[in-house]
Chain A
């Protein structure tokens, strides 16, 4: 099976966010970037499928800046076979449609049997590129998978919905987006890291000229007034409940 895994290079969640001088973007100085954790689940799932079948090709595909190669190397070190970076500008707050179109164009050349990606990127919470990519290709999408199985040319996933779970199936080829819980991603082995250094990353220019929106301003969250320590230990409980009722009026 030929599997394309779409990944994004994102700031680590733990990163301290400093807004750049333009007031519209993240100042990248000192920011640690990582392979988007949801995409890591997608890479792992692709590798497991390849290992289970004893044969296959796992191609990593990313839209991002030159620096995104470091996250792509992580995926290669985990065991992916090859990679393509569609090079785009530095502000990674792209329009999802433009990213999906760039990916779809490239995937047209690759002709995979399956596309895996994360359900969302942890920088912009866009939650859309996987579905858009599927729609552009005219393929079905199975979103936020927590389990993935294949039988008779069909893919079946299980996923959480509000208040429950649903099982969804689609014909192949399809796009599957990964939710936490799909698997437990491996750490790259030393051997994997060494091998990844020898694998080439093909770099092409992405055409992201379309954007449906304009970022006017990036701001820090409103500062909350300092909270109040009501007291220590169980003795403070009645006063807390009273405050929630009389002051906050939430119970």
Chain B
């Protein structure tokens, strides 16, 4: 009878894909144990998102809807979530390992006197505790951990746990919001969203990434064209970012983003360990590189040895033909 509490992250009044993944992960544990899933929504004007949470498995949806929560504030959000966790006394609390979730989980953990296991890629209930799996040492090892702290608090790596529709009871309950001045001591004063028209890296199902082999910033349209044909995000290796060709927000790897898409196409990327740390959990990896000895071929499911400037446009052409059919 495990009771699972899920922080359902929204930005701009839209649920993040990983919020639904976390709800689904909770549903799976609840079903295995005859337990329940409680989703928690925080923001302003977010009540319209409850239906979607119910559809993916939430039995109860706690809604903290308040103008003081319109802009994300770590102190304000963590206070509201911690109060809800104390009231509900769940066995498990899930956040996403997103910018927001990674910041909130530790704050809520201190407020509720528990610990956090971060960047979890596997979770199951074992009799009386949560057992999780998570990478360490840049993905060169995995830990299996029995979480003894109560509640068991974890951040789930995006794009790893499948989001699947399986209706929960979906009972909605409003939360009263009372914040002190201290809860608003951190303020987001500006948010600037980039609209490349492409999916965000951590949420993308397909990523086309370019490294040192791209030769310069002027050559990225070659991979952007393939990305747009496939509806993919565009990433970059550390070499390309350090050279100033692409912004740091595009960087995949240890000092950039950790991604787990269904398909990762590495173009002109040698496959240094820093890069592999950020993408080796992709379901399928394709490498295009002119060096047949490049380490990227060791982790790739499919590879083409050749000049990316010749290969990638042909891939784009073939993909266009196939997708038109």
Give the residues in chain B near A229, CB-CB below 8 Å: 292, 297, 303-305
Q: What count of chain A residues pass the 8 Å CB interface test?
A: 84
| Cβ-Cβ contact count across A and B, 8 Å cutoff | 271
CB contact list, B176-231 vs A, under 8 A? 182, 185-194, 200-203, 205-206, 230
Nearest CB of B to A75, in Å: 19
Across the interface, do B304 and A166 meet the contact criterion of CB distance under 8 Å? no
Given A241-B322, A251-B323 in contact, is the A19-B304 Cβ separation under 8 Å? Answer: no
Across the interface, do A221 and B142 meet the contact criterion of CB distance under 8 Å? yes
Which of A51-59, A77-85, A208-216 is the interface stretch?
A: A208-216
Across the interface, do A218 and B143 meet the contact criterion of CB distance under 8 Å? yes
B84 located at the interface, meaning its Cβ lies under 8 Å from any Cβ of chain A in the complex: no
Across the interface, do B315 and A135 meet the contact criterion of CB distance under 8 Å? no
Give the residues in chain A near B100, CB-CB below 8 Å: 161
Complex alpha-carbon distance, A237 and B97, angstroms: 35
Binary per-residue interface labels of chain A (157-182) against chain B in the complex, 1 for a CB within 8 Å, 0 otherwise: 00111111111111100000000110
A1 located at the interface, meaning its Cβ lies under 8 Å from any Cβ of chain B in the complex: no
Complex alpha-carbon distance, A236 and B317, angstroms: 12
Complex alpha-carbon distance, A220 and B137, angstroms: 11
Give the residues in chain A near B203, CB-CB below 8 Å: 162
Across the interface, do A168 and B115 meet the contact criterion of CB distance under 8 Å? no
Main secondary structure on chain B at its contact with chain A? mixed
Binary per-residue interface labels of chain B (133-170) against chain A in the complex, 1 for a CB within 8 Å, 0 otherwise: 01111111111111111000001000000000000000
Give the residues in chain A near B256, CB-CB below 8 Å: 180
CB contact list, B16-43 vs A, under 8 A? 16
Across the interface, do A17 and B193 meet the contact criterion of CB distance under 8 Å? no
Across the interface, do B188 and A167 meet the contact criterion of CB distance under 8 Å? yes
10 A-B pairs in the complex with CB atoms less than 8 angstroms apart = A13-B254, A17-B141, A26-B141, A126-B116, A161-B100, A170-B185, A213-B148, A216-B145, A227-B298, A251-B323
Question: Which 9 pairs between the two chains have the least Cβ-Cβ distance?
Answer: A212-B115, A212-B149, A237-B314, A164-B193, A128-B106, A131-B106, A135-B110, A233-B306, A17-B140
